[in-house]
Copies of this chain bind each other. A is one copy, B any other.
Amino acid sequence: MTSQGPVKVGIIGSRFEADIHAASIQMVPDAAEVVAVASPTPGHPEALAEKYGIPRVFHDYHEMLREPDIEMITITAPNYLHCQMTCDIANAGKHVVCEKPLSVTIEEADQMIDTCERQGVLLMYAEELFFTPKYVKAKEMADEGALGKLYMVKQMEKHFGPHSQWFWDVDRSGGGAFMDLGCHGIAFCYWFLNRPKIKSVYAQMGTYVHTDKTKGEDDSICIIEFENNARGLIENSWARRGGMEDRIEVYGEGGVTYADLHMGNALPTYSEYGYGYAVEKAPTTKGWTYPVFEELWNYGFPQEMRHFARCTRGKEEPAATGEDGRVVQEVLYAGYESARRGAKVELPFCPIGVKRPIDLWLLG
């Protein structure tokens, strides 16, 4: 591998999330450049390559792994493929950026962490909320003591359903809205509170609106109790109309702060005629809308990619690791188990042989 110039990156996948990775990396040209994309569906990786000027295209990611100059590979494939891909990448001696959630099972998470460690490559967990600039500002204030001792951190992510069809299929996703979106909230609260030990998890969930589309839950509430006497409250939904919602509330004995990535950053706009693009998952651009600006930057994707590229070069320590993803995975397990039991589940909670987290709720 070279260690000069931008880090050379390969992307596995070619759809929604792969596009975000390519666009984000293009925004930090000093740190990284996408040199390859791999996706099995004919035409898909070619389209992404053309859009972003990516020189190399593969239909089999194993071939991409043989490219000697590629230093970092990002995984945007469905959840059930994360583990195998990560291990293959690590075994090829390249650093891994894996989209959230880290895996389907805890065993997979352990295997991913072990393999990367053994191979001496980084396993970086693509939790962009750790880089979302508005949320980072909240954390900076909290860390400076603005809010005193924190006793509750809330995070909500809601919309009317995922962008890719495979999410509805719990065999490929491993769970519904809680797994898809709750993984953000779990990681967020854990990070915001500076990674205290987790004592217990309670979750309440159901399939309230999309019973025709999925066996997975489409709305969930999760309460996490931490050792430092603080809690996380996480709300997620695939049933919320009106576009995306991503918000936090932080309560401390000395203060409170609120951050809203959508209505709170937007340009309230009324349009008779509509316009090009408002925001991810916006239902329309006519009437009153809440368009956002520089969406990727406000989510933190380019900042995240720059950071991962710098980690790849040893200039920074990963702020989001496989270990973080593994904690999330355990909370997901505990949450589904809790939803079935109707009781909070104490951690550690690592049942053996669970095929998909949602099984603890559906089949338990």
By a beta-carbon cutoff of 8 Å, the part of chain A in contact with chain B is 28-30, 133-134, 136-138, 140-141, 144-149, 151-152, 200, 202, 204, 206, 208-209, 219, 221, 223, 225, 229-231, 233, 235, 237, 239-243, 251-259, 263-265, 267-276, 283-294, 297, 341-344
Nearest residue (CB) in B for A248 is B267
Task: Give bound CA distance, A276 to B137, whole Å.
Answer: 11
CB-CB under 8 A from A270, the residues of chain B are: 241-243, 255-257
Which residue in B219, B235, B263 is a CB contact (below 8 Å) of A268?
Answer: B263
Q: How far is the CB of A334 from chain B (nearest CB, A)?
A: 12
Q: How many copies does the complex hold?
A: 4
CB distance from A234 to the nearest CB of B (A): 11
Collect the chain B residues with CB atoms within 8 Å of residue A259's CB.
267
Q: Which residues of B are found within 8 Å of A252, using beta-carbon distances? A: 241
Q: With A242-B270, A267-B259 as given contacts, are A146 and B208 in contact (CB-CB < 8 Å)?
A: no
Inter-chain contact A240/B251, CB cutoff 8 Å: yes
Report B-chain residues with C-beta under 8 Å of the C-beta of A290: 288
Pick the contact of A231: B152, B204, B255, B263 (CB < 8 A).
Answer: B204
Cα A84 to Cα B272 in complex, Å, equals: 42
Contact with A342, one of B28, B288, B344 (Cβ below 8 angstroms): B344
Q: Quick one: given A221-B223, A286-B287, A342-B343, are A271 and B151 in contact (CB under 8 Å)?
A: no
Whole-angstrom distance between the Cβ of A331 and the nearest chain B Cβ: 15
- In the complex the two chains form, what is the Cα distance from A29 to B133 in whole Å? 19
Q: Say whether, besides A233-B221, A242-B288, A145 and B273 are in contact (CB < 8 Å).
A: yes
The residue from B141, B276, B292 contacting A291, defined by CB atoms under 8 A apart: B141
Assembled-state Cα–Cα distance A289/B144 (Å): 15
Partner of A293 from the list B136, B148, B274 (CB cut-off 8 Å) is B136
A233 contacts across to B, CB distance below 8 A: 221, 235
Task: Flag if A271 contacts B293 (CB, 8 Å).
Answer: no
Q: How far is the CB of A179 from chain B (nearest CB, A)?
A: 19
Nearest-CB residue, chain B, relative to A342:
B344
Q: A133-B294, A284-B287 given; name 20 further pairs at CB < 8 Å.
A: A30-B30, A137-B292, A137-B293, A145-B273, A145-B275, A146-B271, A151-B219, A151-B239, A202-B202, A202-B204, A208-B229, A209-B253, A241-B256, A241-B271, A242-B288, A255-B269, A255-B272, A259-B267, A283-B287, A341-B343
